[in-house]
């Protein structure tokens, strides 16, 4: 009996933490030198039930099967917010009205400043093409052409800003669409002239000058066409090149699927804004800048969840829209974003959130700064500050208010990334990224709309006769007012 006890204890102690149970018992069942190996105890497999191993939720564990916990969190979130929606519906009634959204896009019957503004953008695109062709024919020197391109781009940036500021009939939605359209057009045209300059430099090598200049010049002229330019302007990319990768055909089923996604997502976004965010705005009487700190925190806490959901839906809407454009144009490169939701640092998030913009910044800003002997770290900082200023510009200008909240929030995130990034890594770093997304720029954007809502609500409440909107007659019911344009 003593021999059997020693035998079983030696078997259990020799097992390692990496071996599984079946291997332990199989390896311990037979020993060539043990005289009792042929007389195996009938309960030998039940006497060795423990081995060195970590708890599944321990940080030392290599366990990764948390899908069940994720499902539980999703169900809990759905039930929790269903309760909030039910409370909201009982308290405020059904507030969703798509007509009110359309009123922010519909302008005067005889004067559509946002539509005219977008149509006028063709002048800047055609000017860029004309300058390229003039330089190709030798009518303009490279220096003169470059200066004229920069002048064209400068006017392109100033023109929509001047119209939005000085045109009182432009709608809020029209101002947003126009400004965003012009901003992306400016980035595309800058890439267009810069990339064509690189192509031209590549063609002017010594070998090409001696032997192949006429052939390469002809090939280059073929790409300076109206069709080539407008394909690039409509393609879901900001970086120009001569030949884009393409897919064999347009898949109608995929196209219809993306269109259905856009319709559903837009409806959900409208519902969140009107049913959830607007009632929070209605409880305010002052702008955020004039609130006391307690009231300000209370409103921000109430806006965190709907703002975050709205931001996620906006991302998915962008995903559907970009894929629709790519499908229609058979544009092959559809790497519009990386797995930013797995980012363990804010730097990784910024690099994966918007791939087309990231590629443009790296190609036309970061690389050029490094070529001018600016250190890579300083160049990255300048690119980040430029993107933060651009975000502030694209939100603040259509709302006619500039408080630098978005810019400062992004700078604060940069400080968090620099000083806390080393302390939060892995899952903790990913948690910090999600926390910054919850409390970061999307919430700052909402504060702009909050103050815009308050100013318009007070304007229409005290001066109902100054507006021709159908909502004017309901100025006594604040719940019927929704982000009226200036």
* 186-243 pLDDT tens trace: 999 999 999 998 888 877 664 455 555 455 555 556 778 889 999 999 999 999 998 8
Residues 341 and 440 in one domain: yes
Give the integer Cα–Cα distance in Å for 171 and 222.
Answer: 41
257-299: pLDDT as tens digits? 999 999 999 988 888 888 888 888 887 777 777 777 888 888 8
Pick the more confident residue, 40 or 201.
Answer: 201
Mean pLDDT of 151-175: 89
Does residue 208 sit in the same domain as residue 273? no
**pLDDT for 475 beyond 70:** no
Q: Average of pLDDT values for 448-466?
A: 65
Highest mean pLDDT among 85-94, 262-271, 317-326, 466-475: 317-326
Say which residue, 19 or 189, is predicted with more confidence.
189
**What residues are paired with 331 via a beta bridge?**
246
In percent, the amount of the chain with pLDDT more than 90 equals 33
Is the same domain home to 261 and 230? no
| Residue 55 belongs to some domain of the structure | no
Give the pLDDT score at 382: 94
Minimum mean pLDDT range among 36-50, 392-406, 411-425: 36-50
Q: Are residues 325 and 207 in the same domain?
A: no
Number of domains in the chain: 3
Measure CA 446 to chain center. Answer: 16
| Cα→Cα distances 390→123, 157, 363, 406, 428, Å | 23, 12, 17, 10, 30
Residue 93 forms part of a structural domain: no
Instruction: Return the higher-pLDDT residue of 108 and 291.
Output: 291
- Mean per-residue pLDDT, 117-126: 92
**Do 324 and 437 belong to one domain?**
yes
29 band by pLDDT with thresholds 50, 70 and 90: very low
> Final residue of a domain: which of 172, 200, 234?
234
Same domain (yes/no): 117, 25:
no
Question: What is the structure's pLDDT at 60?
Answer: 76
Band of pLDDT at residue 12, cut at 50, 70 and 90: low
Residue 474 confidence (pLDDT): 37
Residue 21 confidence (pLDDT): 42
Q: Is the pLDDT higher at 478 or at 11? A: 11
Report yes or no on 106 lying in a domain: no
**Is residue 353 pLDDT above 50, yes or no?**
yes
The two three-digit tokens of residue 288, written as one number: 């955020």
For position 221, what pLDDT does the model report? Answer: 64
Least-confidence region, from 93-97, 397-401, 419-423:
93-97
pLDDT at residue 485 greater than cutoff 60 = no
Pick from 153, 359, 339, 327: which is nearest to 237 by CA? 359
Q: How far apart are CA 381 and CA 395, in angstroms?
A: 22
**Which pTM was predicted?**
0.76
Residue predicted with more confidence, 251 or 97: 251
Output the average pLDDT for the chain.
79
Task: Report the range out of 87-101, 369-383, 448-462 with the highest average pLDDT.
Answer: 369-383
**Same-domain status, 261 and 299:** yes
pLDDT of residue 149: 92
Domain range for 41 is: 2-45
| Residue 88 belongs to a domain | no
Residues 339 and 473 in one domain: yes
pLDDT in tens, 407-432: 999 999 999 888 887 788 888 888 89
Of the candidate ranges 7-21, 284-298, 311-325, 461-475, the one whose mean pLDDT is the lowest:
461-475
Q: Residue 408 corresponds to which tokens in the numbers above? A: 């400062």
Report pLDDT for 24: 36
Contact predicate 125/101, CB 8 Å:
no
pLDDT band at residue 31 under the 50/70/90 scheme: very low
Please report the pLDDT score of residue 126 as a whole number.
Answer: 94
Query: Are residues 229 and 261 both part of a single domain?
Result: no
Percent of the chain past pLDDT 70, that is, above it, reads 77
Mean pLDDT of 121-129: 93
298 and 411 both lie in a single domain: yes
Whether 221 and 266 map to the same domain: the answer is no
Return the minimum-mean-pLDDT range out of 199-213, 353-367, 445-459: 199-213
Q: Is residue 281 part of a domain?
A: yes
What are the tokens at 186? 């400016």
pLDDT for 182 beyond 70:
yes
310 CB contacts (<8 Å, ≥6 apart)? 269, 272, 273, 277, 442
User: Is 454 inside any structural domain?
Assistant: yes
Residue 99 lies in a domain: no
Tokens 């809502």 map to which residue?
453
Q: Identify whether residues 431 and 299 lie together within a single domain.
A: yes
**Confidence class for position 93, pLDDT limits 50, 70, 90:** low
Question: What pLDDT does 106 receive?
Answer: 65
> Does residue 306 lie in a domain region?
yes
Contact by Cβ (8 Å): 151, 124: no
């Amino acid at each position: 009996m003593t021999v059997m006890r020693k035998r079983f204890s030696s078997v259990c102690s020799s097992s390692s933490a990496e071996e599984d149970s079946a291997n332990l018992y199989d390896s311990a069942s037979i020993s060539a030198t043990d005289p009792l190996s042929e007389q195996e105890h009938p309960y030998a497999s039940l006497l060795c039930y423990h081995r060195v191993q970590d708890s599944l939720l321990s940080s030392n564990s290599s366990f990764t099967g948390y899908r069940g916990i994720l499902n539980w969190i999703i169900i809990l979130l759905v039930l929790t917010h269903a309760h909030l929606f039910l409370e909201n519906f009982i308290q405020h009634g059904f507030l969703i009205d798509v007509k009110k959204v359309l009123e922010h896009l519909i302008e005067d019957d005889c004067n559509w400043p946002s539509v005219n503004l977008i149509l006028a953008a063709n002048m800047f695109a055609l000017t860029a093409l004309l300058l390229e062709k003039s330089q190709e024919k030798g009518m303009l020197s490279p220096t003169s052409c470059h200066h004229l391109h920069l002048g064209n781009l400068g006017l392109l940036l100033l023109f929509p800003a001047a119209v939005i500021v000085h045109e009182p009939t432009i709608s809020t939605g029209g101002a947003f669409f126009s400004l965003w359209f012009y901003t992306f057009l400016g980035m595309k045209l800058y890439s267009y002239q810069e990339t064509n300059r690189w192509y031209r430099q590549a063609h002017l090598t010594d070998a090409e000058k001696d032997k192949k200049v006429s052939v390469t010049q002809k090939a280059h002229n073929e790409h300076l066409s109206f069709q080539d330019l407008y394909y690039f302007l409509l393609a879901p990319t900001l970086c120009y090149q001569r030949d884009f990768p393409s897919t064999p055909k347009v898949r109608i089923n995929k196209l219809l699927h993306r269109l259905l996604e856009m319709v559903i997502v837009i409806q959900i976004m409208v519902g969140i804004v009107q049913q959830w965010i607007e009632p929070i705005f209605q409880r305010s009487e002052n702008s955020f800048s004039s609130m006391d700190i307690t009231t300000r925190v209370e409103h921000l806490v109430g806006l965190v969840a709907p703002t975050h959901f709205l931001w996620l839906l906006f991302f998915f809407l962008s995903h559907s829209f970009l894929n629709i454009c790519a499908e229609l144009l058979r544009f092959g490169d559809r790497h519009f974003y990386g797995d930013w939701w797995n980012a363990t640092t804010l730097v990784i998030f910024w690099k994966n959130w918007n791939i087309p913009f990231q590629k443009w910044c790296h190609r036309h800003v970061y690389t050029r700064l490094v070529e001018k002997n600016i250190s890579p770290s300083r160049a990255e900082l300048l690119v980040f500050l430029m993107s933060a200023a651009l975000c502030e510009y694209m939100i603040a200008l259509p709302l006619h208010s500039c408080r630098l909240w978005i810019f400062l929030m992004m700078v604060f995130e940069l400080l968090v990334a620099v000083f806390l990034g080393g302390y939060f890594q892995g899952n903790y770093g990913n948690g910090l990224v999600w926390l910054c997304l919850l409390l970061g720029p999307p919430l700052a954007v909402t504060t702009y709309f909050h103050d815009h809502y308050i100013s318009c609500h007070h304007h229409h409440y005290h001066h109902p006769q100054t507006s021709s909107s159908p909502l004017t007659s309901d100025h006594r019911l604040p719940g019927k007012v929704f982000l009226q344009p200036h």
